[in-house]
């Protein structure tokens, strides 16, 4: 009997589309030892204006080799990109204090601008990636971040807050690009290993996360003594150089583009998916129609459905229509709220205690917790499931929030609290990303990923602004209580799902 549920057609079509991608990924996994065939002058068909290239000196490569190379390039970019972010983002709070005044309730303005920029750029970059591939989107993101660093430098030198804040918005493109890189790591990943691939890329950020904050004081001193710059100007110039290096790394080395390769594989298996759907039509007539429609569309246009533009409402509808995808989004958004709210204010608390020089190291500990444990978090999610990883991450974040009750009076406890916060947030990020990506239709997945990062970054901006007000009003300890309460909806959603 055919179901009369209003979402039957939608779910059936989504199953057909997901079957097509699973077929493509399984084919890629099965062909791991076989070459990707190339023609002279047209190595692997892709977009007409942006073909998928195979390295000139090695025209035939296997899928496994392509995935390994993509991970190496992305990992290198994460190291330098994380260093660029870490070497300047902490300084932003101090710049606002210098311009606006100490004890201002707008301490979170710097972080809010960065996260607002990340939210805007996540949508823009995901659209570029969808149409032109990961490489084009990442080049644009790192380039905008370098420009933002230069504008922030100009704002510090002139003492003009508007220029500085505009620079921070563009600087946020670096955050968005580094986060979107985790999805690039899964484009060619074998089924069952996507969370592990994400974890490897996030782990690479550990080295940059350590190096970046350690470079703040040398950059400040070099700027002051060598060039006569303002105290907080040097780190922004350093960030501009690092983002430029990362942009060049992606432009030169991320070839062929992993997302374009995936689109080609999916396109070549669309007819097979349609035939499979038609074969199972006796069991699900609606699914058969969806599979046939997919096959006919591919035959008529010569392209896959990933080439068609996807609007923001369509991406949101794809998340809303699947309860597991909704859980993933809730996890990502609330994890970001808790993490930004506490982490952004920690250096301010350290400065007010007379430990300004330790502020960057607190950020380093947080980022080490966030990135160094990401491979373990990824393996945990792949082995026990993303729900189990998410539940564990929430309890770690609650523990961090409890420690923050007294962290304002102890440097050691502050370090422990921020380290635990990093571990919990990376578990939430990886688990939430997996729950989201694995449960939306393949033809809207890239735009859904950008939409999720937009909402996640926007929540971080709200958290940064609100945390500054809460800190100056009721203190860091009660800010931790608010953070702990924000994790409860995730536990509730886990129970209901």
Q: Which of 307, 329, 344 is the last residue of a domain?
A: 307
pLDDT score of 219: 92
SS (H, E, C) the chain: CCCCCCCHHHHHHHHHHHHHHHHHHHHHHHCCCCEECCECCECEEEECCEEECCCCCCCCEEHHHHHHHHHHHHHHHHHHHHHHHHCCHHHHHHHHHHHHCCCCCCCCHHHHHHHHHHHHHHHHHHHHHHHHCHHHHHHHHHHHHHHHHHHHHHHHHHCCHHHHHHHHHHHHHHHHHHHHHHHHCCCCCCCCCHHHHHHHHHHHHHHHHHHHHHCHHHHHHHHHHHHCCCCCCHHHHHHHHHHHHHHHHHHHHCCCCHHHHHHHHHHHHHHHHHHHHHHHHHCCHHHHHHHHHHHHHHHHHCCCHHHCCCCHHHHHHHHHCCHHHHHHHHHHHHHHHHHHHHHCCHHHHHHHCCCHHHHHHHHHHHHHHHHHCHHHHHHHHHHHCHHHHHHHHHHHHHHHHHHHHHHCCCHHHHHHHHHHHHHHHHHHHHHHHHHHHCCCCHHHHHHHHHHHHHHHHHHHHHHHHHHHHHHHHHCHHHHHHHHHHHCHHHHHHHHHC
Q: What are the CA-CA distances from residue 260 to residues 52, 146, 307 (Å)?
A: 6, 26, 10
Q: Are 316 and 389 in the same domain?
A: yes
Q: Is the pLDDT of residue 11 over 70?
A: no
pLDDT higher at 117 or 299: 117
346-380 tens-digit pLDDT: 877 877 777 767 767 787 788 788 888 888 898 89
For residue 418, tell me if it sits in a domain.
yes
Q: Which of 307, 341, 367 is the last residue of a domain?
A: 307
Q: Are 458 and 344 in the same domain?
A: yes
Task: Kindly report the CATH number assigned to the domain that includes residue 142.
Answer: 1.20.1250.20
Q: Is the pLDDT of residue 278 over 60?
A: no
For residue 29, tell me if it sits in a domain.
yes
Q: How confident is the model at residue 144 (pLDDT cuts 50, 70, 90)?
A: very high
| Residue 32 belongs to domain spanning | 10-37+260-307
For residue 112, tell me if it sits in a domain.
yes
pTM of the model: 0.67
Q: How confident is the model at residue 310 (pLDDT cuts 50, 70, 90)?
A: low
Q: Are 252 and 302 in the same domain?
A: no
Considering its fold, how many domains does the chain have in total?
2
Q: Are 294 and 330 in the same domain?
A: no
Q: Are 229 and 320 in the same domain?
A: yes
Q: Are 376 and 456 in the same domain?
A: yes
State the chain's mean pLDDT as an integer: 78
For residue 3, tell me if it sits in a domain.
no
Q: Are 154 and 181 in the same domain?
A: yes
214-226 tens-digit pLDDT: 888 899 999 999 9
Q: Are 204 and 272 in the same domain?
A: no
pLDDT score of 490: 94
């Amino acid at each position: 009997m055919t179901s009369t549920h209003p979402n039957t057609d939608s779910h059936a079509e989504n199953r057909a589309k997901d079957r097509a991608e699973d077929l493509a990924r399984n084919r890629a996994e099965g062909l791991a030892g076989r070459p990707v065939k190339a023609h002279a002058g047209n190595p692997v068909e892709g977009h007409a204006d942006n073909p998928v290239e195979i390295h000139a000196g090695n025209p035939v490569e296997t899928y496994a080799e392509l995935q390994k190379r993509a991970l190496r390039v992305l990992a290198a970019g994460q190291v330098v990109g994380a260093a660029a972010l870490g070497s300047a983002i902490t300084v932003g709070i101090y710049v606002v204090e210098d311009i606006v005044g100490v004890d201002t309730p707008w301490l979170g303005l710097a972080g809010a601008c960065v996260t607002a920029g990340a939210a805007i750029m996540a949508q823009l970059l995901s659209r570029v990636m969808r149409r032109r591939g990961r490489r084009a989107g990442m080049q644009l993101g790192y380039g905008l971040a370098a420009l933002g660093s230069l504008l922030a430098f100009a704002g510090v030198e002139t003492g003009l807050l508007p220029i500085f804040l505009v620079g921070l918005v563009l600087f946020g493109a670096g955050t968005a690009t580094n986060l979107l890189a985790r999805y690039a790591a899964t484009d060619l990943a074998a089924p069952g290993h996507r969370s592990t691939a994400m974890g490897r890329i996030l782990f690479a950020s550990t080295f940059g996360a350590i190096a970046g904050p350690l470079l703040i004081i040398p950059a400040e001193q070099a700027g002051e003594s060598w060039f006569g710059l303002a105290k907080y100007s040097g780190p922004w110039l350093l960030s501009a150089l690092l983002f430029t290096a990362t942009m060049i790394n992606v432009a030169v080395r991320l070839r062929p583009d992993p997302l374009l390769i995936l689109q080609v594989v999916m396109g070549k298996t669309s007819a097979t998916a349609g035939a499979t759907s038609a074969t199972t039509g006796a069991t699900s007539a609606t699914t058969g129609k969806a599979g046939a429609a997919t096959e006919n569309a591919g035959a008529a246009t010569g392209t896959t459905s990933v080439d068609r533009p996807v609007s923001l409402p369509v991406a949101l509808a794809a998340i809303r229509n699947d309860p597991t995808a909704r859980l993933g989004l809730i996890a990502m958004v609330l994890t970001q709220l808790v993490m930004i709210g506490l982490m952004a204010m920690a250096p301010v608390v350290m400065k007010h205690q007379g430990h300004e020089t330790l502020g960057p190291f607190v950020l380093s500990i947080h980022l080490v917790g966030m990135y160094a444990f990401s491979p373990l978090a990824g393996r945990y999610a792949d082995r026990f499931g993303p729900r189990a990883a998410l539940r564990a991450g929430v309890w770690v974040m609650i523990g961090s929030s409890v420690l923050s009750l007294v962290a304002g009076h102890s440097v050691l406890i502050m370090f422990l609290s921020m380290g635990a916060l990093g571990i919990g947030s990376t578990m939430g990020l990886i688990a939430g990303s997996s729950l989201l990506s694995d449960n939306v239709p393949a033809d809207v997945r890239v735009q859904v990923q950008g939409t999720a990062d937009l909402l996640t970054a926007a929540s971080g901006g709200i958290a940064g602004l609100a945390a500054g007000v809460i800190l100056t009003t009721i203190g860091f300890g009660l800010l931790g209580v608010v953070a702990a309460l924000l994790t409860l909806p995730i536990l509730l959603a886990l129970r209901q799902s």
